[in-house]
């Protein structure tokens, strides 16, 4: 069985001051009425609604100003959360909104309902994370959370450069052959450059006489017949 009541205080999930709601009769009788969080809905009590609305407006204005200032202050903070992690940096477990709320209270003496810490999913990695805060219906903020390991994390080993392949015994590296051949070629070129060419040798021994064209060459003088030929001619004449 439910009964209709008028809330005199803000109750999350139920309503705020001056709201008329229906709740279980036992819940109202055993909890709300004794704690003065609500009053029964009667003609006499309806007169208090206007006063409750005024108190509600003042409370909401105060909350708005407080949460606005809190958002500015929190945006400059870095909340440190230490967790257990392996040597490879992998976390054991995760960071939840409740853990962040506890650290805010412990480190900065800020009391914040964990339901105002908006996490799409729990944090499962070391490092800095920026999370969103829903402080008020019209006020949102951000908070930086740094997650560190309780034990030192091993630094990643430097990547070793690949070792050069050693040449097989009895064989010289191809690069050496090329270099050796190049050096021999360069040495041979130097030696050739140092040695005189054939033309240079001839010029060094004596310069060649310039060749005269055939038409310009002088006629050869007629040679006298050899003595042997004259003797043979004489013998032939005597034989006759």
Give the domain ranges of the chain: 2-47, 70-149
In angstroms, the CA 141 to CA 239 distance is: 151
Q: Report the pLDDT value the prediction gives residue 33, as an integer from 0 to 100.
A: 93
Q: Report the pLDDT value the prediction gives residue 114, as an integer from 0 to 100.
A: 92
Q: Report the pLDDT value the prediction gives residue 91, as an integer from 0 to 100.
A: 87
Averaged pLDDT of the chain = 76
Q: Does domain 70-149 have CATH number 1.20.1050.10?
A: no
154 pLDDT band (50/70/90 cuts)?
A: low
Residue 142 pairs in a beta bridge with 132
Q: Report the pLDDT value the prediction gives residue 155, as an integer from 0 to 100.
A: 56
> Using an 8 Å Cβ cutoff, are 85 and 72 in contact?
no
Q: Report the pLDDT value the prediction gives residue 120, as an integer from 0 to 100.
A: 86
Q: Report the pLDDT value the prediction gives residue 24, as an integer from 0 to 100.
A: 93
- For the full predicted model, state whether its pTM sits above 0.75: no
Please name the residue ranges forming H helices in 4-48: 25-27, 43-46
Residue percentage of the chain with pLDDT more than 70: 63
Write out pLDDT tens, residues 52-111.
999 999 999 999 999 999 999 999 999 999 999 887 888 888 999 999 999 999 999 999
35 pLDDT band (50/70/90 cuts)?
A: very high
165 pLDDT band (50/70/90 cuts)?
A: low
Write out pLDDT tens, residues 216-226.
555 555 555 55
Q: Report the pLDDT value the prediction gives residue 201, as an integer from 0 to 100.
A: 47
171 pLDDT band (50/70/90 cuts)?
A: low
Inform me whether the pLDDT recorded for 235 exceeds 90. no
Write out pLDDT tens, residues 176-189.
445 444 555 455 44
3-state secondary structure the chain: CEEEEEECCCECCCECCCCEEEEEHHHHHHHHCCCCCEEECCHHHHCCHHHHHHHHHHHHHHHHHHHHHHHHHHCCCEEEEEECECCCCCECCCECHHHHHHHHHHHHCCCCCHHHEECCCCECCCEEEEEEEEEECCEEEEEEEEEEECCCCCCCCCCCCCCCCCCCCCCCCHHHHHHHHHHHHHHHHHHHHHCCCHHHHHHHHCCCCCCCCHHHCCCCCCCCCCHHHHHHHHHHHHHC
What is the CATH architecture assignment of 2-47?
3-Layer(aba) Sandwich (3.40)
Q: Report the pLDDT value the prediction gives residue 98, as an integer from 0 to 100.
A: 93
């Amino acid at each position: 069985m439910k009964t209709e009541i008028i809330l005199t205080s803000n109750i999350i999930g139920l309503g705020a001051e001056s709201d008329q709601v229906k709740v279980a009769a036992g819940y109202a009788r055993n909890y709300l009425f004794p704690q003065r969080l609500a009053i029964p809905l009667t003609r006499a009590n309806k007169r208090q609604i206007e006063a409750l609305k005024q108190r509600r407006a003042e409370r909401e204005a105060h909350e708005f100003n407080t949460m606005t200032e809190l958002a500015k202050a929190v945006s400059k903070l870095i909340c440190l959360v230490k967790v257990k992690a392996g040597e490879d940096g992998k976390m054991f477990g995760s960071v939840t909104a409740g853990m962040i709320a506890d650290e805010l209270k412990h480190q900065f003496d800020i009391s914040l309902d964990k339901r105002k810490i908006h996490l799409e999913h729990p944090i499962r990695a070391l490092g800095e994370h920026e999370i969103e805060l829903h402080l008020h219906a019209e006020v949102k903020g951000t908070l930086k959370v740094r997650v560190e390991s309780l034990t030192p994390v091993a630094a990643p080993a430097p990547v070793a450069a690949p070792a050069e392949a050693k040449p097989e015994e009895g064989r010289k590296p191809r690069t050496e052959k090329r270099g050796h051949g190049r050096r021999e070629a360069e040495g041979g070129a130097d030696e050739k450059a140092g040695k005189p060419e054939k033309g240079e040798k001839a010029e060094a021994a004596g310069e060649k006489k310039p060749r005269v064209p055939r038409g310009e060459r002088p006629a050869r003088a007629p040679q006298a017949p050899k003595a042997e030929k004259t003797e043979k001619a004489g013998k032939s004449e005597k034989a006759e």
